[in-house]
Chains A and B, each alone.
Chain A
Amino acid sequence: MLLLILKRIGLGLITLFIVSLITFVGVEVLPGDACTTYLEREAYGAALDACIKRLGLDVPAYERYLDWASNVVRGDFGYSLSGEMPINEVLGPRVKNSLVLASVSILIGIPLAIVLGIITALWRDKLPDIMISTITIFSMTIPEFISATLLILIVAIWLGWLPGIVIIPSDATFYELLSNIILPVVAISMIMTAHMARMVRSSVIQVMASDYVQMAILKGVPYWKMVFRHVLPNALLPAINVVALTIAWLLGGVVVTEVVFNYPGLGRLVIESISNRDLPVVQALAIILASIYVGINLIADLMTLMLNPRLKSLQIRK
């Protein structure tokens, strides 16, 4: 069991190493370097020299990679050109903001998705299922940038209930933060929830048709007891991995939504640093996003392993 966990973690680290190589090489093969890209027309003379010096571009590529990689491992991402300060300082508040946004979306989205999925499966082809399924399919098909824009139009502009653009002072209280992020959270969790609800629905329907559920009914187990003891644990297990994928996929949604709502998170930083040609920040963000992706999938794998008695004892026997 422990060996397996270590193996999975090892694989995750290898993935990250490859991602770091690709981003580094990607930046290398671009014409010019971080300084010429950033300075554009001013890339000559003293300004260029100073920049090259500051970023250490005067040493060979492999040395720079090793240097950069070892710094990243130690948690130091280097120096932002546009912010003119260490990247860590740029990242700090952004990471916090995005984390708040994503975790609120997840905390609301996952339970909601599970409940909706179960309701639609248990009342399959009846009114609750037809209504909820129509809504979920509808919200699955609308991309975030449209739903976000529509939300701003309806709730913020027409109704005027909530602010359309998020402006958070750095000392905002949690409550202030919360009222500000309602719209972005709704926009992000709509697609995610819809996807997961569909997944949970089909999984529950599949388990409801299984021999062991029929057996439980014929054993005289009351309906709700059967649903909670015999159906749900088996139906939600395969959903874990899909949930992880959806969360990872949510990262993309965060980028778009943050831009639409002008939310100062990691997603907007991606767009900003790309348009500012701030290559060191782009590199750092690539690594961070990849780590989140790998991390979430790792957690999902381990959870499936822990919860599935079949896999658990398989490992013990080995």
Chain B
Amino acid sequence: MSEIIESVKNLSIGFNSQQGKQISILRNVSTNIKKGETVGIVGESGSGKSTLALAMMGYIKQGLFPLKGECLFKSKDLLKMSSRQLEKIRGRKIAMIPQNAGQALTPNLKIGYQIDEALRLHTDLNKTERDKKISELLNKVRLPSPETMAFRYPHELSGGQQQRVAVAMALAGKPDLLLLDEPTTGLDVTTQAHVLELLRFIAKDTGTSMIYVSHDLGAIAQVSDRIVVMYAGEIVLEGPARKILKEPIHPYTYGLLKSIPKLSLAGLPASMPGTQPQPGSINEGCSFYDRCNLATDHCKKNSPDLEHIKELDTNVRCFNHKELINQNNNLQTSITKKSNNSEAIEVLKLKDVSISYAKQKFFDQLLNKISDQNPTVKDINIDIKKGETIALVGESGSGKSTILKSIAGLLKTKDGQIKFENDRILSSDLKMRNPNDLRAIQLIFQNPDESLNPNHTVEQILSQPLKLYFNLSGEELKKNIIDLLKKVRLGEFYMSRYPRQLSGGEKQRVAVARAFAAKPDIILCDEVTSALDVSVQAAVLNLLQQLKEDLGTTYVFVSHDLAVVRAISDRVAVLYQGRLCEIGPSQNVYKFPSHPYTEVLLGAVLEPDPDIKPKLVAEDIVEEKPPEKGCSFQGRCPRKIGDICNLELPPWQIDENGNAIRCHINIDELASLQQ
């Protein structure tokens, strides 16, 4: 058990800057991977975790080079090997499972060929043995009908299936060490839980060591025996998983854990100030100094070494870690939010809204109608009250963003009405809406990199809505822009910056400011925190909540992340295949009785706690189209009661808390089933 498979010693990796300076991305990293052990490497983007993982396969990305140290695999230095020697190790001794299997599988080669290639390179099996092995492997990763799967192309598979193929490919060479680079990022919650479960099973079944790289402490908590926390290219904390997650004695890890929204907590997570320093910007002192609330003058001048704490079996890089030991009971707290929907005036009503992506046939185009009996989104009835945050939750393909787009007027509805303020019907065509309605409904997008014009300064970005809706100019315009920046906690000097000069969190703040510039009544948020690191996500969530409390704005918040939704929303609507399953006040949606789909979603959420295991109750099959009749969830429902689910649309049942559930099972019975 204690045999060391790979050992990284004093590794530094860097690049030459344009000024000819050597800048390191990894600094003096040392760690050991033991046989049969799963090590989680966690850190936010830019912490050097992927660079470290790739170096452990002897792979250094173009432009980077090792500055010092070594990567010893079975006491041989991978960084000194020729490419010939590396070919013998990669895939055979150390195999990789990539982040985005959809892009990591070669598009023109069939699944079977790509697995066969690994077998041919790393085993001595003949053709028939290999064919047998391929179906064995596909079976092992639990892909449906492995015989036909081998003849399919990567793009014909769903995201979860592609990830499973990548796992099968990695297992083909029977490696001693598996490297997983964010293997579940980008997958749906239920799929993610299933893939993690598979990986855990494989680790136990084959005794393979694993290195699991992720930004997601929830996923790390589920698989790791030991956790390594990276910050700005250094290891800041390293130790047994349980100790790291329950008693983090480094202030960064502590802050990171606090900034993760949790299902059990209704309030907002605490955010950490500041951002991770850029590589090369740290000259002296602790790299976490700027963001640390324990920092002293000593930390500014001296950089701490990794110190071994015997009683916790943990290495920590902090002078003041002792102060944290007693604080850990605070981990399970959050900031309570005020809800201000006591007036309960309905500002936006969706009535029987259906939306179809079906292409119009020629004659329908002439008559300007859409004939689709089974539209992507159907029968959506939601009344949104002034000042509330309503969340639309569901996996990809649930129609949540589609609904948002049609509220914004970007997508035409097929049937139904969208009513705004005093039951006035909003046209489903953007061009037919009056400017004031356009102003009143604003949209914030998922990815600020794409929603901000890279050639405009922050000033230009923010002045557009102000000029358009309020005809401001000159000094007044400038004053308003400064006010807006202040609202989103950005200084005046940001005005002359371009988006590329901002960090991810700062960009999203600018996007938020742009939406608020229009003084809107309703802001539509489309996965606004999904592209952000957790600590930044917490800050953006807090900012949105603060603005809402100050200005009384209404949010329609779309997200796939149930914990984030729990943190920010007052009411939650759960969608499956474009049909509503459950809608109600958020504290009730997160409590049983729930719609079976909500139950499945809640069960699959990964919490950063090794004691809370996800419950896998439904298969993670991907349905391409909603069923034509009956309940939308019939295909995957673990509580399906019979033909009635396939044939009849379930009735709405409302419990005493105002939670509406669309299910054939009686609500009291559901409650007792789910206990």
Contact = CB atoms under 8 A, between A and B. Distances in A.
A218 B96 contact: yes
Given A310-B153, A313-B153, A220 B87 contact: yes
B57 interface: yes
A229 interface: yes
Nearest to B86: A220
Contacts, number: 78
A135 B121 CA distance: 39
A222 interface: yes
A234 B107 contact: yes
Contacts of A230: 106, 109
Nearest to A230: B106
A254 to B, nearest CB: 34
Interface string A262-282: 000000000000000000000
A313 B152 CA distance: 10
B155 A309 contact: yes
A307 to B, nearest CB: 8
Interface in B87-137: 87-92, 95-96, 98-100, 103-109, 117-118, 121-122
A127 interface: no
Contacts of A237: 108
Contact of B104 (A214, A220, A229, A308): A214
Nearest to B91: A220
Interface string A137-180: 00000000000000000000000000000000000000000000
Given A234-B108, A313-B153, A219 B117 contact: yes
Contact of A223 (B83, B99, B118, B169): B83
B290 interface: no
Nearest to A317: B156
A27 interface: no
Contacts of A111: none
B6 to A, nearest CB: 15
B39 to A, nearest CB: 18
A215 B104 CA distance: 6
A216 interface: yes
B269 interface: no
Interface residues of B, number: 33
B40 interface: no
Contacts of A234: 106-108
B173 interface: yes
Given A220-B87, A229-B109, A234-B108, A210 B103 contact: yes
Contacts of B105: 212, 215
A58 interface: no
Nearest to B92: A220
A311 to B, nearest CB: 10
Contacts of A313: 153, 155-156
Looking at chain A's contact residues, is the secondary structure mostly helix, strand, loop, or mixed?
helix
A216 to B, nearest CB: 7
A196 to B, nearest CB: 21
Given A217-B59, A229-B109, A222 B87 contact: yes
A299 B98 CA distance: 37
Could you say which of A212, A219, A223 has the most chain B C-beta atoms within 10 Å of its C-beta?
Answer: A219
A218 B57 CA distance: 7
A313 B157 CA distance: 12
A221 B87 contact: yes
B109 A211 contact: no
A233 interface: yes
B90 A218 contact: yes
Could you say which of B86, B87, B173 has the most chain A C-beta atoms within 10 Å of its C-beta?
Answer: B87
A220 B122 contact: yes
Given A210-B103, A309-B153, A309-B155, A215 B96 contact: yes
Contacts of A222: 87, 121
B110 to A, nearest CB: 8
Contacts of A219: 90-91, 95-96, 117-118, 121, 169
Contacts of A211: 98-100, 103-104
A310 B103 contact: no
Nearest to A124: B62
A217 to B, nearest CB: 7
Given A210-B103, A211-B98, A217 B90 contact: yes
A237 B107 CA distance: 11
Given A212-B103, A215-B98, A234-B108, A220 B121 contact: yes
A308 B109 CA distance: 10
Interface in A199-228: 210-212, 214-223
A212 B106 contact: yes
A167 B100 CA distance: 61
Nearest to A308: B108
Contacts of B103: 210-212
B91 A218 contact: yes
A203 to B, nearest CB: 14
Given A219-B90, A219-B95, A309 B107 contact: yes
B59 A220 contact: no
A237 B89 CA distance: 32
A79 B180 CA distance: 74
A218 B108 CA distance: 18
Contacts of B92: 220
A22 B54 CA distance: 61
Contacts of B83: 223
Interface string A233-247: 110010000000000
B117 A221 contact: yes
Contacts of B156: 313
Contact of B121 (A210, A212, A221, A233): A221
A211 B102 CA distance: 9
B241 to A, nearest CB: 26
A74 B608 CA distance: 77
Contacts of A310: 107, 153, 155
Contacts of B96: 215, 218-219
Interface string B134-151: 000000000000000000
B117 to A, nearest CB: 7
B90 A212 contact: no
Interface in B223-277: none
Nearest to A309: B153
Nearest to A208: B62
A222 B117 CA distance: 11
Contacts of A233: 108
A232 to B, nearest CB: 10
Nearest to A231: B106
Could you say which of A217, A222, A234, A313 has the most chain B C-beta atoms within 10 Å of its C-beta?
Answer: A217
Interface in B15-57: 54, 57
A309 B99 CA distance: 23
Contact of B59 (A218, A308, A309): A218
What are the nearest 8 A-B pairs in CB distance?
A220-B91, A220-B90, A211-B103, A215-B104, A218-B96, A219-B91, A211-B104, A309-B153
Interface of A: 210-212, 214-223, 229-230, 233-234, 237, 308-310, 313
16 contacts: A210-B103, A211-B99, A212-B106, A215-B96, A217-B90, A218-B59, A219-B121, A219-B169, A220-B92, A220-B118, A221-B87, A222-B87, A223-B83, A230-B109, A234-B107, A309-B108
Interface of B: 54, 57, 59, 83, 86-92, 95-96, 98-100, 103-109, 117-118, 121-122, 153, 155-156, 166, 169, 173
Given A215-B96, A310-B107, 15 more contacts: A215-B105, A218-B54, A218-B95, A219-B118, A219-B121, A220-B88, A220-B89, A221-B87, A221-B91, A233-B108, A234-B106, A234-B108, A309-B153, A309-B155, A310-B155
